[in-house]
Chain A
C-alpha cells in the first residue's frame, strides 16, 4: 500500500462491501462492513461523507476549507485518507 496513493486529482470512493451511514442511535457516522462497525469522530466524518466516487481530493479539501475557514486542513485530510485506505474503507476509483 504505497503512501502517495491519494493525490489532489485522485477520486476516492467507498470500498466495495463497506457502507457509510448516519446512525441515529449512536449519534454519529459509521462505517459498516461484514460483521463489524467503526464509529467515526466528527472530523473523520466530515471527510468521509464527502467521498462519493465523484469528488477529487482537491475538491473535498476546498469544500472543507470553505466550511471550516482558517484551519490548515489539508495535511489532516491526507492523513485520514491514508488511515481509511489502510483499513480498506476507501480506495482510489479505478480507471483514473
Chain B
C-alpha cells in the first residue's frame, strides 16, 4: 500500500477511542458489526493492558471513549476501566444491550464516573425484539432503561433499523418518548460483518424508507428541545458515499478485544494490511507511524474517479471496506457513489432485496444469527489461505 500521500504534520489527533472490550455477547443480532470469524480471537487484553491504552490515547488528545463489544458488561473489570478513564479525563460512553446490568451496577458505574449510557433495543415489541436478539431481552432492557434515567444519566436509546422493524418506527419513537430518552439513534444497519452476510434479508426497501422518513421528521419536530432524534438513511440509497470515519486514521481509533488497533471496527477484513497490536506498540507509533494507519491518509492512494474528483475532500472516496467488499479493491471508489463504474453492484443488491422482500424470489439462505457456533464456520481450516475466510458469499 502506498504511503506517499502521508504528510506527518497533517495527521490529526485521535479524538475518539472505541474500546471493544470483548467479542462475547449474550445477544445474537444478525446485523452485528463484529467480524464473522470473531470466535477465533480469544486473547483479550487484561485490565492493565487496557489502562495503558487509555493513558496513551488520552495523552494524544482522545477525549471521547466508547466502551463497546460484543457486550462490554461481560467484562467484570468494567467498573475499574470506567474509573481509570474518568480519572484521565475521558468523556465515557457505555454502549450496551443492557444484558448483564442490574440497578446496583448502574449505580456503581455512576460512582466510577461514567458519563453516559447508550442502551440498544432491537424493536419496540417483546416478540420482535427477542426474535432479533435471539434471546429474551426486552423486559430487562425496559427495566434497565428506567434505571439509567433514575440514576441521572443522559440516555441514548439506539434502535438499529432494517427491513423487519422499520415499519414500526412510530411505535419505536413512542417507546423512546415513554422511556424519556435524551437522544434516539434510529441507526440504519451498516452492511459490514454479519449485516453484510445477511444484507439481502435486512436491507429495507425504498418504499419502506419513504414511509419511515416523514414519521421520523414529525417526531424530530414534536420533540425539539427535549429529545434529539438522529435518523440516517442506508448509504446504499444515497448517490454519494458517506465520509466514512471522517477519513481513514483521522479521528477514530478502535482497539479490538485482542488489542489489534484499527481505523474502524470493520477494517481488519482488508487484505494486505498488517494492523498493529497495542501489546507490541504504543498508541502514538500506531497512530502516527504504522503503515496500516497511513495506508489511506491523504489522496495519493486514490484511483479514478476519486483522484480527480472535486468532491474527494468531502467524502474521501467513501468507505474502504465497502469498496473492498463489493469491488475487491479497497482503493476503488465506494460503489455507493454514482460516479463509480461499480454502482450497478449496489443497485443489484437493492433490486434483489426488493424481490426477496416482496417474496418474488426465495431467500438465498436462512438469516444467520451471530453466535460463536456460526462464527466458527468462518474460521478457515489451517491449510486454507486465510483471506478466503474474509467474505464468504
Contacts from A to B (Cβ < 8 Å):
1, 16-17, 19, 21, 23-26, 30, 32-37, 88
Contact (Cβ within 8 A) A17 B182:
yes
Q: Cα distance A26–B182 when bound, in Å?
A: 28
The smallest C-beta distance from A21 to any residue of chain B, in angstroms, reads 6
- Interface status of B51 (Cβ within 8 A of chain A): no
Chain B interface helix/strand/loop/mixed: loop
**Chain B residues whose C-beta falls within 8 Å of the C-beta of A19 in the assembled complex:** 91, 115
Contact of B63 among A1, A16, A30, A88 (CB under 8 A): A30
Task: Let me know if B277 is at the binding interface, CB within 8 A.
Answer: no
B93 within 8 A of A: yes
Give the tally of cross-chain contacts (CB within 8 A): 49
Residue contact A17 to B116, C-beta cutoff 8 Å:
yes
A16–B117 Cα distance when bound, in Å, is 13
The listed residue (A21, A35, A36) touching B89 by CB distance below 8 A is A21
In the complex, which residues of chain A have a beta carbon less than 8 angstroms from the beta carbon of B154?
A: 16-17, 33-34
Q: Which residues of B does A touch, CB under 8 Å?
A: 13, 15, 60-61, 63-64, 66, 89, 91, 93, 115-116, 118, 152-154, 156, 182-183, 225
Given A19-B115, A32-B115: A25 and B89 within 8 A (CB)? Answer: no
Q: How far is the CA of A36 from the CA of B13 in the complex (A)?
A: 15
Query: Which residues of the other chain, B, contact A23 by a CB distance below 8 angstroms?
Result: 61, 63
3 interchain residue pairs of minimum CB distance? A25-B61, A17-B154, A32-B91
Q: A34-B93, A35-B156 are in contact. List 17 more A-B contacts (CB 8 A).
A: A1-B225, A17-B182, A19-B91, A23-B61, A24-B61, A25-B61, A26-B13, A26-B63, A32-B64, A32-B91, A32-B115, A33-B154, A34-B91, A34-B118, A34-B156, A35-B64, A35-B93
CA distance A1 to B153 in the complex (A): 22
> With the chains together, A88 CA to B63 CA distance in Å?
20
Residue of B nearest to A17 (CB): B154
Query: Is there contact, CB below 8 Å, between A16 and B152?
Result: yes
Q: In the docked arrangement, what's the CA distance between A21 and B92, Å?
A: 14
